[in-house]
Amino acid sequence: MFIQTLITEPIHFFRIIVIVIFSITLHELAHGWAAMSQGDNTPQQTGHLTLNPVVHMGKESLIFLCLMGIAWGQMPVNPSKFRSGKLGNILVSAAGPLSNLALGILFIVLLKLFFNPSLSGVLSVEFLYLAARINLTLFLFNLLPIPPLDGFHVFSEIFPQLKALQYTQFGLFAMMLLFIIPGFGIGLGSIADLFIRSGLGM
């Protein structure tokens, strides 16, 4: 389990925890800000326009992150309040993954600016690379057209026939299958690695 990393690689463990919490918090806030821009004040009414990760992730998600290295978040929105209906749902759903893409690109830029193999601390090469990799992986994962992921809400607006899957066990089965498939996470990470290396001109 991921918690074993705390004993074998404690610095790596805490880096992942900090990066994932930061990234998911901004991911959920991006949904909230996008919803507000579409006329839905639900995020504000429910107190979710905050940087407090407990509000966005919940204690269960934070505990699961420390134990298994897997976490999730939530942002309450009301699509019926969106000014532009279908387009609003696409924009709000896409805002989360796009925030992770933006963070990934930002960390790649910081890598290029502060690239120094001997540098240690918060802006070390290892930390910045890991932050870029995690955010790009989150971007790719959340774009999968599987409920309840953001990608499903985007693609189901473009292809309405997919909406019926939201009310079936397909999403749960597909998510379980993805986590069972050997190397699925590694595959997404490898794609992220390629993106980072191309960004660094390596």
Among candidate residues 9, 28, 126, 157, the one labeled active-site is 28
Query: Cα torsion for 71, 171, 31, 63, to the nearest 10°?
Result: -20
Is 28 annotated in the active site?
A: yes
Nearest to 72 by CA among 59, 57, 60: 57
Helix, strand, coil in percent for the chain, rounding step 5: 75, 0, 25
Q: Which residues contact 165 (CB under 8 A, 6 or more apart)?
A: 147, 152, 156, 171
* Triad 185, 25, 76: Cα angle to 5°: 105
Nearest to 153 by CA among 98, 86, 108, 198: 86
Residue with tokens 């240690």: 120
Which residues are the active-site residues?
28
